[in-house]
Amino acid sequence: MMTLNQKLYQLFANKAQQVTIEILSLGLGYTAVTTSDGGIGLSYTYFGDKKSCMVLNEHIDYEAKPASLLLKKIKSDNSVERSMALALINALNYDAALALPEDKDNHILYDTFKIGAQSKIAMVGFFGPLVRNFKEKKVSLEILDESRGLGHKQDFYHKLGNWAEVLMLTSTSILNQSTEEILANVSEKVKTVMLGPSTPMAAKAFEHLPVHMLAGTVPINKEKTIKAVRHGMGTPVLHKFSRKSYLSLI
């Protein structure tokens, strides 16, 4: 288990004992959790190999129960349970995330990391809008996304050590427990941003890692967000009902 998962658990353990879960919506694309204190959080729904109709380790009705019951599943060996727990973590952190500044069009991201035509960017996870924009800007880009068959892990890790200037790392890596392995391969010159709707906007969770910015998604319209999750929608739809927030760790 990653140290990151343990840190996330410890950071939110106290708050999780004080609130209950209202809604747990486990969608095909994303998972949403709402809490009794008004929080809402998202996480990618990370399926392992689905071998039967039962994708969880056990039957537990988390709704109307203390959030602490689900929080501990961030340490589970089941990736769907980890997905549910990460959505809860983002719900528990909702007020803090809501207070963060917005980076609607990624201008702050680009300015902070000085991204331009000469930049060398490594990307874990395929972020379509960013990929299109980088191609327009003639940015050099290497992508590792096993689900799409993009990149070769060892070649990519080699480039993290001797080529890349910026690493854009999907927070889905928290769910497949690869974050720390990936970051162990970056050179000191690489600046890293964790991004995507799963991103926990909590600086303390990343203190032991070379991460320089968190770029997450904070739902604003809760009802439409939950409906989109229930209907299997993905990031482009969820962004319509959310704001893109950032937290600089530099």
Pairing of strands 166-170, 191-195: parallel
What is the predicted pLDDT for the residue at 54? Answer: 80
Angle at 151 between CA 153 and CA 206, to 5 degrees: 55
Fold type of domain 3-98? Enolase-like; domain 1 (3.30.390)
Angle at 180 between CA 213 and CA 119, to 5 degrees: 45
- Which residues in the chain are classed under CATH 3.30.390.100? 3-98
pTM: 0.96
Q: Which residues pair with 24 in a beta bridge?
A: 33
Fold type of domain 107-248? Rossmann fold (3.40.50)
- Which residues in the chain are classed under CATH 3.40.50.11590? 107-248
Q: What is the pLDDT along the chain (250 residues), one digit of tens a residue?
A: 579 999 999 999 999 999 999 999 999 999 999 999 999 999 999 997 777 788 887 889 999 999 999 999 999 999 999 999 999 999 999 999 999 999 999 999 999 999 999 899 999 999 999 999 999 999 999 999 988 999 999 999 999 999 999 999 999 999 999 999 999 999 999 999 999 999 999 999 999 999 999 999 999 999 999 999 999 999 999 999 999 999 999 8
Task: Extract the tokens encoding 217.
Answer: 């998604």
Rounded to whole angstroms, the maximal C-alpha distance in the chain is 52
Task: Extract the tokens encoding 198.
Answer: 């799963």
b/e 206-229 (16+ beta carbons within 10 angstroms → b): beebebbbbbbbbbeebebbbbbb
